[in-house]
Amino acid sequence: MKHPWLTFAGLCAVIFAIVMTCVIFGSYTSMLRSQNRVHKGKELMIMACENQLEQIPGLVALATGDDMAPVRSRIQDTIEQIRTLLDRFRTPDTPLDPDLVRIFEQAQSRLAKDLDALARGIGTTHPRVQETADRYLETIYTARRYNKEAVYFDSRKKVFPGMFTSKWFHLDHLHFPLIDITCFDPWGLK
């Protein structure tokens, strides 16, 4: 009499072990894919920022006059600061440093305000201004994508089975800071 129940319990234990192994490793691979999407989003955002920065000198060259000289100088200084930050963001397979993200957002906000003043001086319908606005839209889109992937990864660490998987495989220490997309928006494009 005891033998059929023992066999049934053993079979249930084996099935449970198989299911839990599949759940755990399925969750692990899902978290790794999510982490890779965050890193890809970071790379795309960096490339979009670099493309945006390449457009700006052509726009600055259109601004002539002594009244625009301080704005042009600030823009050049801010571009150099942002390029330095982007180089520091390039570290492979590591999250962005929250302190650097704050500095980056501040520099982008300054650049956006200066570009707004510059564009008003040139004329917002000028083709160069429109090209720069298009680059900004690309940057906003890639920053949104990065933020979406970062939020998804962080939310996976808080729900079953990701909360266990992240602890067991040491993914719980990863935190991807969000980037405020309003810092990219000199003309209210978002």
Q: pLDDT tens digits, the chain, 190 residues: what are they?
A: 568 888 899 999 999 999 999 998 999 999 999 999 999 999 999 999 999 999 999 888 888 777 888 888 999 999 999 999 999 999 888 899 999 999 999 999 999 889 888 888 887 788 888 888 888 889 999 999 999 999 999 999 998 888 888 899 988 889 999 999 888 776 665 5
Full-model pTM: 0.86
Number of H helices, E strands in the chain: 5, 0
What pLDDT does residue 123 have? 79
What pLDDT does residue 189 have? 54
- What radius of gyration do the chain's Cα atoms show? 24
What pLDDT does residue 150 have? 96
What span, in angstroms and rounded, lies between the C-alpha atoms of 53 and 57? 8
What pLDDT does residue 179 have? 94
- Give the contacts of 132 (CB within 8 A, at least 6 positions apart): 52, 55, 56, 59, 115, 119
What pLDDT does residue 34 have? 94
What span, in angstroms and rounded, lies between the C-alpha atoms of 122 and 71? 13
What pLDDT does residue 148 have? 97
SS3 content of the chain, % helix, strand, coil (to 5): 80, 0, 20
Q: Quick count: other Cβ atoms within 10 Å of Cβ 171?
A: 18
What pLDDT does residue 87 have? 94
Q: Of 102, 112, 101, nearest to 78 (Cα)? A: 112
Q: Is-contact 105 182, C-beta < 8 A?
A: no
